[in-house]
Structure 1
Amino acid sequence: MDAALEQIGPRLRAARRSSGLTLDELAERAGMSPSTLSRLESGKRQAALELLLPLTRELGIRIDDLLPPAPADPRVHRRVQRRDGMVIAPLTLEQAPVRAFKIVHPPRVEAPPSGVHDGYEWLYVLSGRVRLVLDDREHVVEQGEAAEFDTRTPHSMSATADGPAEVLSIFSPAGERIHTHGEVEPA
């Protein structure tokens, strides 16, 4: 049996229960026997349109509400951004609870000013070398290395002077706004 059809019975039962109706009450209102409704809810009877229409009418729902939603497109279709010489490619959907980006940092002789904001950040260096300044202490994160830090600690990140650095960065939504759209609060 189709997986979507298998979900009709449990969804029908859930809708009935959330409306506060007993099996007998809904069956009577919909003009069918309680055993027919019970078999529908348990999946032992095929869900035919002539049975579902009166039930959905009584429950105040649509037949579509008994079917699982269509799977969302998992592909990320967000625009690459350019800011302060960086190329920022989103790797997660905009509504994702955690935001991931591939960021290419241009080479810099000096570290940018440090800033602070709420959240945590995790980064992984794909290529090049990253200068990570945390609380005025400089760390060089090499290709293949990762770092994690509390972004309430004054911090800045840039490629070293010897070339660009390509990084995977993961942020909370607040961290994404700061790092990909605006400036961090100066430390």
Structure 2
Amino acid sequence: METALAQVGPRLRQARQDKGWTLEELAAGAGLSASTLSRLESGKRQATLELLLPLTRLLGIRIDDLLPSEVPDPRVRQEAIQMGGVTVVPLASESSPVRTYLTTFPPVDEPPELTSHGGYEWLFVLDGALRLRVGPRDLTLGPGEAAEFDTRHPHSLSAAGEAPARVLSIFTEGTIEAHTGPRRRR
């Protein structure tokens, strides 16, 4: 907490300088002496709400802007989703604006039914062969190949051949749910 408070002064000074104001101008507008503001900015005076509220209002910033933000743990810890033998591993948090997944398609005797829904899909084959059907097209993609398509077109994805296909997939929001339904964890 002490290191967070130590950053208030320099951040306050930076906000003042960003506005192009002198110590005297900001202090006068906030009803403080230039000396008090100088001590706040240098860390020689403890910041209090009573002092910071008028300063932040004048500067057009929030008190939170003067404090360092907590950096969240960037690791993604979500369990795999199982659906009809397909394993979908979320690679981004649920709050992420990008829906990214590692999907493993097992070998199948028959490809799944075509489906359509709102959204957009992008995929990249990592291992194996992927059978991608979009509208009248029936394609087989190998490792290193990518595809993208509007999911309003009827489509299906499955492994092609005897080995599983591992695919990196990126979807627009809500698209994966059209394939997985309600989240089921393994």
- TM-score range (shorter-chain normalised) is 0.7 to 0.9
1:59-74, aligned counterparts within 5 Å? 66-74=66-74
Offset from partner CA, 1:44-84 (integer Å, 9 cap, x none): x3134534442235468996552021111111011111111
Is 1:118 matched up with 2:118? yes
Is 1:166 matched up with 2:156? no
TM-score, length basis structure 1:
0.74
SS at match of 1:7: helix
Report the equivalent of 2:129.
129
Report the equivalent of 1:109.
109
5+ unaligned residues in a row in structure 2: which ranges?
A: 19-25
**Partner Cα distance (1:136, 1:63) in 2:** 58
Aligned length: 167
**Aligned-pair CA distance for 1:171:** 0.5
User: Are the counterparts in 1 of residues 107 and 163 from structure 2 also a CA contact under 8 Å?
Assistant: yes
SS at match of 1:25: helix
Offset from partner CA, 1:136-178 (integer Å, 9 cap, x none): 3201011121111111111111112422111110011111222
Of 7, 13, 29, which aligns to 1:9? 13
User: Are the counterparts in 2 of residues 9 and 40 from structure 1 also a CA contact under 8 Å?
Assistant: no
**Partner Cα distance (1:12, 1:169) in 2:** 46
Report the equivalent of 1:50.
46
5+ unaligned residues in a row in structure 1: which ranges?
A: 15-21, 183-187
Report the equivalent of 1:25.
29
Offset from partner CA, 1:70-108 (integer Å, 9 cap, x none): 111111011111111011111111111111110111111
Is 1:76 matched up with 2:80? no
Report the equivalent of 2:21.
none
**Aligned-pair CA distance for 1:117:** 1.5
Q: Which amino acid aligns with 1:177?
A: E
TM-score, length basis structure 2:
0.75
**Aligned-pair CA distance for 1:7:** 2.8
SS at match of 2:174: helix
User: Are the counterparts in 1 of residues 126 and 143 from structure 2 also a CA contact under 8 Å?
Assistant: yes
Identity of aligned residues (%): 40
User: Are the counterparts in 1 of residues 104 and 164 from structure 2 also a CA contact under 8 Å?
Assistant: yes
**Partner Cα distance (1:145, 1:178) in 2:** 24
